[in-house]
């Protein structure tokens, strides 16, 4: 059984095509605020990279410069409080 394909996100208009140019300080500030806010809201680095037209590494670097502690790798472990799980 094949896995369904993941959705491909298009870059937001304000960030589309700005990765290859020398962005202004104002754009870098908006980018940084957006990346930090979206990461705090639970988006993955890959999702943010697609939305901002940046690479995975560029997004990671933005978070590092902002002093954001990154989450661990992998999906969140689902926990059950069922008594059967305690056995």
| DSSP 8-state class, residue 76 | P
CA separation (Å) from 29 to 5, 14, 15, 26, 76? Answer: 33, 12, 12, 5, 30
CA separation (Å) from 58 to 31, 45, 76? Answer: 11, 9, 24
Q: Where are the domains of the chain?
A: 8-71
Per-residue model confidence as pLDDT tens digits over 27-76:
999 999 999 999 999 999 999 999 999 999 999 999 999 999 998 877 66
Q: Is the pLDDT of residue 86 over 60?
A: no
């Amino acid at each position: 059984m094949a896995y369904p394909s993941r959705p491909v996100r298009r870059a937001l208009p304000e960030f589309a095509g700005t990765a290859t140019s020398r962005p202004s300080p104002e754009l870098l500030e908006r980018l940084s605020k957006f990346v930090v806010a979206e990461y705090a809201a639970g988006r993955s680095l890959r999702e943010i990279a697609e939305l901002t037209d940046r690479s995975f590494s560029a997004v990671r670097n933005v978070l590092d410069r902002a002093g954001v502690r990154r989450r661990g790798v992998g999906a969140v472990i689902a926990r059950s409080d069922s008594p059967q799980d305690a056995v």
